[in-house]
Amino acid sequence: MYLQYVVDAIGTGSLYALMTLGLALVFSVMGLMNFAYGQLVMIGGFSIIMLRQQPWWAIILGTILVVVIASLLMERLAFRPVRAATAMTMLITSFALAQFLQQAARVAFGANPRPLEQFSELSVQYVVGDLFISRQTIITVVVAISIMLALTLLLKKTNIGIQLRASTEDVDMARLVGIKSNRVIASAFVISGVIAAIVSMLFFATRTNVSWSSGESIVLIAFVGAVIGGLGSMVGAALGGFLMGFAYTLLNALLPLELRVFADAFLYTIVIVVLLIRPSGLIAAKGARV
């Protein structure tokens, strides 16, 4: 019984961990908390709707392409001009950008949610002992772990990854030794976009519709996950996101019925408490810009 909740919680936790990772990567490179990150997932959702009739590989590639382009445009048009400003100005810029994209989607796709035809092949349930595990959960966990491994390899072994990590440690020093910050930041946005696209596919696979406001709750979770996990630390971000998803699922399952509607209130109260005890997050990065 309880084990079933844990399985579900691991599924949600993995998805949230991925979400948080995409946000945290950009933050660690340029100190930007990108509120518009959730809108990338929303854009991914709408491209899935547009591509729904295509074969599965076309949906995956197409969505990744669209979201990565959107992510790059975001960096070039909105964030590059304010890069030198304070963290707060950048935060509010991303806030405005998020609002802009959200309302643009409302103008383009209408105020009502667009129905999304279900991917029935994902809802297959496997029975293990007395546990039910859906194919969706397995895919989410496998994809999340693979992405994290791939990201680790990329950061440790490739040239651009090493440059990224150098910029994470000390942007000015990295620039002094000849790392081109424009290229590094753009590549962080590309990776963040790929992750957002994958998140949108995993997220909307379980939803019945996509709406202009779909991105809002996602970015809130990622945002909070990144901050409680520890800003600037990739491991911390993944952990923070995972804990958000894990706690959310367990609170919804285990709270007494009359309190269950307040699950979000409990979750965010826990968030405030965590922040008060550890203002720089569970795993504080060295020299994090908080």
Partner 1 sequence: MNDRVSAWSRWVFLALPLIIPLIVITVLIAVTNDISLVQRASTAMILMVMVVGLHIFSGNSGVISFGSVAFAMIAAYTSALLTIPVEQKPSLFPDMPGFLSWIVEFSLPVPAGIVVAVLFTGVVAVIVGVPLVRLSGLSAGIATLAFLVVVQVVVTKWKAVTRGESTMVGVPKEATLWWALAGVVLAIAVAALFQVSRNGRRLIATREDDKASMSIGISIPKERLVGWTLSCMVAATGGALYGHYISTFSATTFGFALTFFIVAMLVIGGMGSLTGAVVGVLVVQVLSEFFRTLETQGLGPIPIIDFPGLTEMVLALILLIVLIVRPSGITGGTEVADWFARRKSPESSAS
85 vs 149, beta carbon nearer partner 1: 85
- Select from 86, 118, 158, 209 the one that contacts partner 1 (CB under 8 A): 86
Please work out the total of residues on this chain that contact partner 1, with binding judged by CB under 8 A.
43
Nearest to residue 189, comparing CAs of 12, 44, 34?
Answer: 34
204 vs 223, beta carbon nearer partner 1: 223
Long-range (24+ apart) CB contacts under 8 A made by 253-257 are: 253/5, 253/8, 253/9, 254/5
User: Quick one: tokens of 272?
Assistant: 């405030």
Nearest to residue 52, comparing CAs of 216, 213, 204, 217?
Answer: 204
Nearest to residue 17, comparing CAs of 248, 213, 263?
Answer: 248
User: Distance between CA atoms of 28 and 284, rounded to whole angstroms?
Assistant: 12
Minimum gap (Å) between residue 94 Cβ and partner 1: 10
95 vs 119, beta carbon nearer partner 1: 95
Binding mask 208-227 toward partner 1 (x if CB under 8 A, else -) reads ----x---x---x--xx--x
Binding mask 236-275 toward partner 1 (x if CB under 8 A, else -) reads -------------------------xx-xx--xx-xx--x
Strand 131-134 relative to strand 209-210: parallel, antiparallel, unpaired?
A: unpaired
81 vs 287, beta carbon nearer partner 1: 81
User: Applying CB under 8 A, does 182 fall inside the site for partner 1?
Assistant: no
Q: Give ∠ CA 189-102-140 in degrees, rounded to 5.
A: 55
93 vs 137, beta carbon nearer partner 1: 93
User: Distance between CA atoms of 164 and 176, rounded to whole angstroms?
Assistant: 14
Minimum gap (Å) between residue 69 Cβ and partner 1: 19
- Select from 81, 142, 170, 209 the one that contacts partner 1 (CB under 8 A): 81
Residues with Cβ within 8 Å of 40's Cβ and at least 6 positions away in sequence, in order, are 22, 67, 70, 71, 74, 192, 193, 196, 197, 200, 215
User: Applying CB under 8 A, does 184 fall inside the site for partner 1?
Assistant: no
User: Applying CB under 8 A, does 198 fall inside the site for partner 1?
Assistant: no
Minimum gap (Å) between residue 86 Cβ and partner 1: 6
- Select from 17, 33, 198, 202 the one that contacts partner 1 (CB under 8 A): 33
169 vs 216, beta carbon nearer partner 1: 216
CA distances from 69 to 66, 139, 208, 265 (A): 5, 25, 26, 36
- Select from 1, 88, 128, 257 the one that contacts partner 1 (CB under 8 A): 88
Residue 248 · residue 195 · CB < 8 Å: no
- Select from 82, 139, 235, 255 the one that contacts partner 1 (CB under 8 A): 82
The amino acid present at 98, given as its one-letter code, is A
- Select from 198, 231, 237, 283 the one that contacts partner 1 (CB under 8 A): 231
Residues with Cβ within 8 Å of 31's Cβ and at least 6 positions away in sequence, in order, are 87, 90, 171, 289
Query: Which residues are at the interface with partner 1 (CB under 8 A)?
Result: 33, 78, 81-82, 85-89, 91-93, 95-97, 99-100, 103-104, 106-107, 110-111, 212, 216, 220, 223-224, 227, 231, 261-262, 264-265, 268-269, 271-272, 275-276, 279-280, 290
